Amino acid sequence: MNINSTFLPKNLKFIILILLTSISSCEDFLEEVPPTFISTSNFYTTQSDARTACDGVYEMLHDGGWNSTYGRWWPAIDLGTDDVVSKVSRTNFNDWFSHTINPSHPWFESWGQYSNFWIGISRANSVIENVSQMPNSVFETIEAKNSIIGEARALRALYYFHLVRTYGDVPLIDKPITSKDNFAKPRVDVNVIFDEIIIPDLQFAETNCSEGLSDGHITKWNSKVILADVYLTRAGTRRTSQGEFVQGNADNWLLAKNKAAEIISDSPHQLIENPVINGANIIPACGVAWSEGHPFSVESMLELSSVNVQLHGSILSRECGPFPHGVNYWGAGSNKPFLNIGYNFNVIQMRFPGNPPAVGLYIPTPDLYASYEEGDERRDWNLMTKYITNDGSIYLSQPTFRKYVDIGYYLGNENTSFSNTNNNFILYRYADALLIYAEAANEVAAATFGDSAYDAVNEIRNRAGLQDLPSGLSQDQFREAVWNERRHEFAGECKRRFDLIRTNRLATETLNIKKTWTSAEGSVNNYQNVNTLFTGNVPWPDHEWLMPIPQSEIDLNAENGWTQNNGY
């Protein structure tokens, strides 16, 4: 897979900058500065320096390591919902399934799911501050300078957006940290973060960044889709860090609708509409965006690169597989399920030759499978139980999220391993714009939104092999239809929990979850493979709408008035 080289360390200067932007002007903390150290003021001298610094902000999206921001651990955000569970023997996230989440859990303290966002924000603040002060004359054009600032601001907004949705109130830090006093920040209301950081940053980026398709960099279009998602989120429900239930401002529906409409009408993005056919291997159009050899497609809007370099590939291929072969779902290992087509191999013989480890941290629920309409190509592609190679060889697995899998690794291709894979991770794509538009249009004016909202939903449905929605749906019916499309289109994309929160369905949709795979879900034998603490009938506690602030942060900031989120 091709990768934009700007996301990889270029030279020693870049490595020094990573340290520099994490703590900024280190002179304030050191009595003696080593003679080889490059200070902030000495670093930012050319356009290339500004670009290299901005690349350090991108690095925190997905650095390929064990604790990458949007990598190995981020999908845990959806664990315990009706879509995602861990296999029976996994204990990493017992607290998620028993609803006894502990602020000292490694997910918060040492796996980067809080600190990485702040590292990204720190780097962004350094770029924004220092590039803004650089003379215009060192840049090819003023537009080039503003684009770099805009990219850093959009990334800062993205990191803050995920912080406030996950943790609630957080400190507002919009300048580089230059003294110990700068660390003494109180937590502020999420609305302040939205109004003073997230929305202004994205508005600057949509005005100043590139107008082309995304190659992994921030553009005006992926700035707009994040902003549309921000408005969609603010229109919905949430709980505060103090435990209060809040209904968002309905004015945000119109803002979300209009921002998504700009993408639909003006951007170069579109859905991929044609399948990829290579011998016996067929990738449906709805799956091409994730398939090998198609990075940064016309559909992807914010895509995170992985590359076949040790510890720079996605580790999700390792984490998602529930079992190294298809036994149980496909029956006994000696079963030969395809004799009717003359394929004389048993289940064990049809295991993936790469022998992926049976980690199974993030696996689909049968409840998700059962929710798809018959004929929906997204079901059997995304919830993979069978893979057919170009030459017609068949490999079997227990249900696995295909979006997390590098098939080359599963097939045992040369130069692949669990930490050396090339499946990219997509945060946003054109389908987001379509479904944000449809949902928001329905809320703005259910009776008068016309055909455009139907068109947006039907474009996605038709691509998945489904018929148009029936015309003349009521507002409630159309709302439910859009929610269903979001569930099926974005399965495995780390959006389910946030969707259930903003639509006030987290408690209801996580009750009575189907846990048993049956013949109706394609299984030969009835079986369960879910964490034993995941009962599927324990009401989701109100306080777990938010995750807890890491306990070490609470302890360190007690003098700054920090208290733990309600209920923890």
Give the pLDDT confidence of 509-552 residue by residue, as tens digits: 999 999 999 999 999 999 999 999 998 788 899 999 999 999 99
- Identify whether the C-beta of residue 14 lies closer than 8 Å to the C-beta of residue 55: yes
Residue the block writes with tokens 């004015």? 251
Mean pLDDT over 442-447 rounds to: 80
Give the pLDDT of residue 291: 78
Mean pLDDT over 222-232 rounds to: 98
Q: Is the pLDDT of residue 300 over 50?
A: yes
Give the pLDDT of residue 34: 36
Give the pLDDT of residue 63: 59
Give the pLDDT of residue 66: 75
Give the pLDDT of residue 65: 65
Give the pLDDT of residue 445: 82
Q: Is the pLDDT of residue 15 over 50?
A: no
Structure tokens, 19: 């340290």
Is residue 114 a part of any domain in this protein? yes
The backbone torsions φ and ψ at residue 427, rounded to the nearest 5 degrees and listed phi first, read -90, -40
| CATH number of the domain residue 233 falls in | 1.25.40.390
The partner residues of 239 in beta bridges, in order of sequence, read 245
> Which SS3 state, helix, strand or coil, does residue 219 take?
strand
Is residue 56 a part of any domain in this protein? yes
Number of domains forming the structure of the chain:
1
- Going by pLDDT thresholds of 50, 70 and 90, the confidence category of residue 22 is very low
Give the pLDDT of residue 284: 96
- Identify whether the C-beta of residue 496 lies closer than 8 Å to the C-beta of residue 78: yes
Is residue 310 a part of any domain in this protein? no
Give the pLDDT of residue 20: 37
Is residue 190 a part of any domain in this protein? yes
Give the pLDDT of residue 89: 93
Q: Which domain holds residue 164?
A: 5-80+103-259+549-554
Give the pLDDT confidence of 55-69 residue by residue, as tens digits: 999 999 875 667 888
> Which SS3 state, helix, strand or coil, does residue 64 take?
coil
Is residue 171 a part of any domain in this protein? yes
- Identify whether the C-beta of residue 383 lies closer than 8 Å to the C-beta of residue 368: yes
Question: How far is the C-alpha of 297 from the C-alpha of 214, rounded, in Å?
Answer: 8
Q: Is the pLDDT of residue 292 over 70?
A: no
Q: Is the pLDDT of residue 7 over 80?
A: no
Q: Is the pLDDT of residue 251 over 70?
A: yes
Mean pLDDT over 167-195 rounds to: 91
Quote the pTM value: 0.92
Is residue 568 a part of any domain in this protein? no
Give the pLDDT confidence of 271-281 residue by residue, as tens digits: 999 999 999 99
Q: Is the pLDDT of residue 314 over 80?
A: no
Give the pLDDT confidence of 359-391 residue by residue, as tens digits: 999 999 999 999 999 999 999 999 999 999 999
Give the pLDDT of residue 110: 94
Is residue 243 a part of any domain in this protein? yes
- Identify whether the C-beta of residue 525 lies closer than 8 Å to the C-beta of residue 110: no
Give the pLDDT of residue 369: 98
Residue the block writes with tokens 């580089």? 176
Give the pLDDT confidence of 462-486 residue by residue, as tens digits: 999 999 999 999 999 999 999 999 9
Report which of residues 333 and 1 the model is more confident about: 333
Question: How far is the C-alpha of 151 from the C-alpha of 69, rounded, in Å?
Answer: 18
* Residue 119, C-beta contacts closer than 8 angstroms, at least 6 positions apart: 22, 60
Is residue 43 a part of any domain in this protein? yes
- Identify whether the C-beta of residue 176 lies closer than 8 Å to the C-beta of residue 234: no
Mean pLDDT over 209-224 rounds to: 95
